[in-house]
Amino acid sequence: MEGLVMRWRALATLASCRLQLSRTVPSRLHHCAPATGRRLLLSRMFQPQNLREDQVLSLEGRTGELTCKSQRLMLQVGLIHPANPGCYHLLPYTVRAMEKLVRVIDEEMQAIGGQKVNMPSLSSAELWRATNRWDLMGKELLRLRDRHGKEYCLGPTHEEAITALVASQKTLSYKQLPFLLYQVTRKFRDEPRPRFGLLRGREFYMKDMYTFDCSAEAAQQTYSLVCNAYCSLFNRLGLPFVKVQADVGSIGGTMSHEFQLPVHVGEDRLAICPSCSFSANVETLDLSQMNCPMCQGPLSETKGIEVGHTFYLGTKYSSIFNAQFANAHGKPSLAEMGCYGLGVTRILAAAIEVLSTEDCIRWPGLLAPYQVCLIPPKQGSKEEGAAELTESLCDHIVKAVPQLQGEVLLDDRTHLTIGNRLKDANTLGYPFVIIAGKRALEDPSQFEVWCQNTNEVVFLTREGVIELLSSVQVV
């Protein structure tokens, strides 16, 4: 809570700095930011828009293929741009959404005692040879040599690095444990078939947490704590998920679960029991008997996108690197570990995949890059007189609803009709689109408000708009 208050203060200070800046040097700002004074102008956004499907396909290059809705939509509206196979430029809207996602993740991880670290992407071959994963990982590991001939990989995950880091602390006591250390960084995997846009990249963002406990029992409790934090995260994002029993794969350990978003483009097959709580990735089941191991009823199958993965590791890594602490009797004892991944860029694309229609992006409300888009009338139209009303509404919103500072965009492309701009706004999925049409010239002015996440269109006065927007949650 104290953290929240502090962040709020920091934000408020930042907001007032911005205000001052725009008052004192408006002309310089004019040339370097998509904002004039305090207003964010859509015409200044770096965002290729309205690409046709064939143009999008040619962006993906010779080897590219459009394999799913989120990939197509994200390319079409300029959320991502292909760089190399499986590697994308994340454009401004996506970066805003991702920063919001990271803030929600930070809140959830820190609520259970998580401490944020940041480890290098370059990881030395020595560490990976120690666990035998230098060989086990095969071609998926991106390897390189420095000028001295020393071998490295670009980290696909960081069990080796974090365990070596904790092992380097020679005076740890059981009183300090558990440690829940996490980071949000780029990961590199030379996937045999990168596809589905951000869903399966060769370079992507992951949140990876590693936990160190003083007993197996304590580690199991930490495991449940992290799983609950993952459930809370997906609930806050409004994403329907299932937690399934999973295979431990090359990471190893003794217990594992995946967090899956059920959707037909998913690459994982899930078996779910409609009568009891059992659910599993089919990789973990004996396929000859597709009956529920708990209640013996028939299992139903569905596809899913894996957005999170948890592993109970025991002492598999701590024993190799000697990650020890002094126990209650003063004796050295190996840390019991867990590791917990969330696919950050994959969650963004998977959310778009699950929530959007074929033509229109829909975001989890908390992650929408901008909450409000205002559309003033077309230049030279009968309603042109409402242009100033829209600008003053834009300024009033950020004053009256401080959490919307930086969240309100003005679509100043007034050479376009309202209809054309509304179509773009619909495609991009701003939670609130506010139009100044004919009724804005009535007394009192009435603005047309499209509430995208509830599919409602309402006419509201200035006060009505403020009342509606006051309840918007922003991270």
Give the total of residues touching Mg ion (CB under 5 A).
Answer: 1
Min dist CB 84 to Mg ion, Å, is 23
C-beta closer to Mg ion: residue 257 or 362: 257
Residue 427's binding partner among ligand ATP, Mg ion, none (Cβ under 5 to 8 angstroms by kind) is: none
- For residue 188, list its beta bridge partners: 203
Task: Please report the beta strands in 107-236, taking only residues with DSSP state E, as ranges in sequence order.
Answer: 114-116, 122-124, 142-145, 151-154, 179-188, 203-213
Min dist CB 294 to ligand ATP, Å, is 24
C-beta closer to Mg ion: residue 53 or 267: 267
Give the per-residue contact string, 303-342, with ligand ATP (x = CB under 6 A; - = no).
---xxxx-------------------------------x-
Which residue is closest to ligand ATP by CB? 343
Expressed in percent and rounded to 5, the helix, strand and coil fractions of the chain are: 40, 25, 35
C-beta closer to ligand ATP: residue 351 or 449: 351
Contact 225, 210 (CB under 8 A): no
DSSP string, 127-158: HHHHTTHHHHTGGGSEEEE-TT--EEEE-S--
Task: State yes or no: residue 309 binds Mg ion (CB under 5 A).
Answer: yes
Q: How far is CA 286 from CA 50, 252, 282, 290, in A?
A: 48, 20, 8, 7
* DSSP run (H or E) holding 462: helix 462-470
Task: State yes or no: residue 200 binds ligand ATP (CB under 6 A).
Answer: yes
**Candidate residues 128, 204, 223, 234; the one interacting with ligand ATP per rule CB under 6 A:** 204
Contact 301, 340 (CB under 8 A): no
Min dist CB 246 to Mg ion, Å, is 7
Nearest to 141 by CA among 101, 190, 108: 190
Task: Please report the beta strands in 214-367, taking only residues with DSSP state E, as ranges in sequence order.
Answer: 242-245, 255-262, 268-272, 279-281, 300-314, 324-326, 332-334, 336-343
Residue 189's binding partner among ligand ATP, Mg ion, none (Cβ under 5 to 8 angstroms by kind) is: ligand ATP
C-beta closer to ligand ATP: residue 273 or 307: 307
Q: Which of residues 143-172 bind ligand ATP (CB under 6 A)?
A: 157
Min dist CB 53 to ligand ATP, Å, is 23
Residue 363's binding partner among Mg ion, ligand ATP, none (Cβ under 5 to 8 angstroms by kind) is: none
Give the total of residues touching ligand ATP (CB under 6 A).
Answer: 16
Which residues are CB-neighbours of 277 under 8 A, at least 6 positions away? 294
Min dist CB 346 to Mg ion, Å, is 11
Min dist CB 143 to ligand ATP, Å, is 17
Min dist CB 283 to Mg ion, Å, is 10
Q: Which of residues 245-264 bind ligand ATP (CB under 6 A)?
A: 249
Q: Residue written as tokens 């974090």?
A: 162
Amino acid at 368: A
Residue 14 has φ and ψ, to the nearest 5°, of: -60, -45
Residue 307 CA to residue 438 CA, distance in Å, equals 45
Residues that bind ligand ATP (CB under 6 A): 157, 189, 191, 200-201, 204, 206, 249, 306-309, 341, 343, 345-346
